[in-house]
Amino acid sequence: MSRPLRIAEPTRTLHIYRHLLRESSYLPVFARAFFDSRIKERFRHNGNDWKNVDTYKKKARHGLRYLRAVNNGDLPRMRRVILLAFGRTGRRRRDLMDDLLHGDAPKDSDALEAYTHEIENLIAGGRERDFLDSWDKEKLRTFAKSQASANLRDSPKADIALKQIMIEKHLPKENIWGMPPAKKLLRSKERKAWKVLADKVLPPLPTSEWETLRDLALGRVKDPAIQAPRRRPVAKNLYSRWKPPNPWNWHLYATQPVVAADRQASRRFKLLSGRVDDNTPTGDPHAIGSRRITPRTWQHLLFQIWTLTAKMEKNPSGKGWDITWGGKTFKPPMARADSELF
C-alpha cells in the first residue's frame, strides 16, 4: 500500500476537509464514491454550526487518521471501510433498512382502499398510529428468517434466533395476576421486539450492486482500476537540488522522555499518526499491522463481504420474495461404488 506523505497536521477546517478528500481518493473505486459523498455531506450539513465546531474537527481528525491507516495497509480497518461502503453497518445500512422496512405504495385503487380502511379501523379502535404501522412486517420477517438460516460468519451484527422471528407467539398471554395484559403494554412489547429484530438484520443490496460485488469476489473482473491507486509523489523542484532540513522539535524532547516523544512515530502507532521515524539508524521501520494488499488479498476480502450480502427480488407470481445470499454452495462429490461401505 502507499505510504503517507510528510504533510503537516491540518488545523483549519478547510485543510481537514481537503485532507479527507485526498485520503478518500486513494480508496478502492467501489468504496470511493460513498466516502466522497459522505465527507461532503457532513461538512455541508454542519457548516454553520459554529458552537460545536471543535467537536466536529475532532471527529474529522479521527476519520482522517482512520483513512490514513487504511491507505497504509491496515487490513482490519480496510474491512470495516468496505462494510460501511456496502451497507453492512453505518449510515448506508440505515438507508437500506429504510427501503426494506417500508413497503411499496398502493399500486391500484383496490390496494389504496384497503390501506385507507385499515387506517380507519385503527383510529376507530382508539389507538394512535406508530412507526410499526408503516413497516412491512411480513417482508422483514421473511428476510430475517432467510438471514437466520444462512449461518453468516464474522457478521457485524448479532445472530438472529428463530424464536425472535415469530414475535406474536412469544407475547405474554396474561400478567402476574392471571389477567389478559393491557393492549398498550402488548403494543409496547411488540414494538420493542420488532426493533430488536430489525437491529440484527443485514439489509439486501440492489441487484446490480450485489452482482458487481459477486463478480469482484469471484475474480471475474480483472480491471486493475478497481484496486486502490498508488499515492502520487510530492511535487519537486526540477531546478534545485537543495532540500530544506526537517525542523527538529527540541522542546518536545526537553520536556518529556524520549519514549514519550517518539511514541507517535513508533511501529505501533505510526499507522494512525502518519509520523515518520527519522531517528532510527537503519531507516524508517515498517509499521506493525501494515501489509501490502495484493489482488488475491482483495478478492479474499471482498468474498468475505459478499457472504454477508443478499439480493431480494419479488417473485414473478407477485407473492413472496426470492432471496439469494452470497457465497459458493458446497456440493460434495459422488462416492465411488466400492467405497460406499466405508
Report if residue 124 sits inside a domain. yes
Q: In terms of Cα–Cα distance, which of 204, 256, 226, 2 is closest to 86?
A: 204
Residues with Cβ within 8 Å of residue 165, at least 6 apart in sequence: 141, 144, 145, 148, 197
Q: How many angstroms separate the CA atoms of 76 and 74, rounded? A: 6
Residues 6+ apart with CB under 8 A from 28: 82, 226, 227, 228, 298
Which of 115-119, 258-262, 336-340 has the lowest average pLDDT?
A: 336-340
Q: What single letter denotes the amino acid at residue 54?
A: D
Residue 211 has pLDDT above 70, yes or no: yes
Q: Strands (DSSP E) along 196-320, which ranges? A: 310-314
Phi, psi of 110 (to 5 degrees): -65, -45
Q: Does a structural domain hold residue 159?
A: yes
Which of 38-42, 116-120, 235-239, 336-340 is the least confident region? 336-340
Half-sphere exposure of residue 133, counting CA atoms within 13 Å on the CB side? 13
Buried b (16+ CB within 10 A) or exposed e, 212-225: bbbebbeeebeeee
Number of neighbours of residue 301 by Cβ within 10 angstroms = 18
Q: What is the pLDDT of residue 196?
A: 94
> Quick one: CA dihedral 111, 114, 120, 124, positive or negative?
negative
Q: Is residue 117 one of the residues assigned to a domain?
A: yes
Backbone angles phi, psi at 136, to 5 degrees: -85, 90
What grid cell was written down for 299?
478478492
Indicate the average pLDDT of the chain: 82
Does the residue 103 lie in any domain? yes
Give the closest residue to 145 by CA, choosing from 197, 192, 187.
197
Domains of the chain: total: 1
Mean pLDDT throughout 138-160?
A: 92
Question: DSSP secondary-structure letter at 290?
Answer: B
Q: Is 88 helix (H, G, I), strand (E, B) or coil?
A: coil
Q: Is residue 139 part of a domain?
A: yes
Q: Which residue has the cell 480496510?
A: 78
pLDDT for 131 equals 85
Please tell me the least confidently modeled range out of 22-31, 58-67, 286-295. 286-295
Supply the range of the domain harboring residue 103.
Answer: 99-204
Which one, of 86, 76, 81, lies nearest residue 23 by Cα?
81
Q: Convert the pLDDT of each residue in 150-177 to its tens digit.
A: 989 899 999 998 888 988 888 888 888 8
Q: Is the residue at 146 inside a domain?
A: yes
pLDDT at 199: 96
Which one of 194-208, 234-248, 276-290 scores highest in mean pLDDT? 194-208
Helix axes 53-71, 13-24, angle to 10 degrees: 30
Structure confidence at residue 39 as a pLDDT band (50, 70, 90): very high
pLDDT at 276 over 80: no
Residue with cell 426470492: 322
In a domain, 127, yes or no: yes
Q: For residue 92, what is its C-alpha cell?
A: 448506508
187 within a domain of the structure (yes/no): yes
